[in-house]
């Protein structure tokens, strides 16, 4: 009886530890989602809501071996192609915008009044980082149009749609939203740097020089 009681208490303790671990994991996942939401300016959630895979199929009856074959029989199988058709013009536009804004940020860094102000310099460098990242990601997406339509990427999209609270799902939608959010962050950074630079140039001690 003592051994049974000890085993029961051990199992109960393991369950409590598991519950605490799962709770801490959920907190970390929520925090990670909040960080991505800020970085993508909410576009991650918007894309997930708009472009998620939709089907009325009960996945519990789908056998593992029938995975891809079953997808091909679904009425909404070509939804991913529709998503790509919608995103391709956006990626091309953001690529052009990022290239122009990167050139603008580099040009502004050459102005003495702006480069001398710490805040203006900080926001200009931040703008260069966002524009460089957005330009790189959007260029990769445009160059890999055909590869994005393959079954592996489509499978990740379906998995991200079916598991919206997972880290993999949040990463997937954040990657799609990165080009657009990068452009917005660039514009904000450039405006902020221009304001700080103008205030710096209009400072009384600089006017007297």
User: Domain locations in the chain?
Assistant: 69-195
Q: What is the pLDDT along the chain (209 residues), one digit of tens a residue?
A: 444 444 445 544 555 545 556 777 888 888 998 999 999 999 999 999 999 987 655 545 555 545 544 554 454 467 888 899 999 999 999 999 999 999 988 888 887 766 777 888 888 888 999 999 999 999 999 999 888 888 888 889 988 988 888 999 999 999 999 999 999 998 988 888 877 666 655 555 544 44
pLDDT of residue 176: 93
pLDDT of residue 196: 65
Give CA separation, 119 vs 14, 164, 192, in Å. Answer: 52, 38, 9
pLDDT of residue 70: 54
Give CA separation, 2 vs 5, 6, 31, 80, in Å. Answer: 5, 6, 44, 59
pLDDT of residue 95: 95
Q: What are phi and psi of 55, to 5 degrees?
A: -160, 155
CA-CA distance, 175 to 40, in Å (whole number)? Answer: 9
C-alpha closest to that of 86 among 46, 123, 42? 46
Q: What are phi and psi of 53, to 5 degrees?
A: -70, 130
């Amino acid at each position: 009886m003592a051994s049974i009681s000890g085993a029961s208490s051990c199992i109960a303790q393991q369950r409590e530890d598991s519950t605490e671990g799962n709770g801490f994991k959920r907190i970390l996942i929520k925090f990670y989602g909040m960080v991505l939401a800020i970085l993508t300016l909410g576009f991650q959630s918007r894309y997930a809501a708009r472009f998620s895979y939709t089907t009325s199929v009960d996945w519990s009856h789908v056998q593992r071996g029938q995975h891809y074959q079953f997808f091909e029989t679904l009425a909404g199988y070509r939804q991913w192609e529709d998503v790509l058709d919608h995103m391709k013009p956006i990626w091309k536009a953001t690529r052009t915008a990022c290239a122009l804004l990167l050139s603008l940020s580099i040009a502004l860094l050459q102005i003495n009044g702006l480069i001398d102000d710490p805040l203006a310099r900080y926001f200009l460098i931040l703008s260069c980082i966002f524009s460089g990242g957005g330009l790189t990601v959007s260029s990769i997406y445009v160059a890999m149009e055909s590869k994005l339509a393959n079954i592996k990427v489509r499978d990740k999209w379906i998995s991200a749609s079916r598991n919206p609270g997972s880290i993999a799902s949040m990463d997937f939608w954040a990657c799609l939203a990165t080009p657009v959010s990068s452009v917005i962050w660039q514009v904000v950074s450039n405006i902020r740097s221009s304001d700080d630079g103008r205030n710096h140039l209009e400072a009384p001690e600089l006017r007297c020089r």
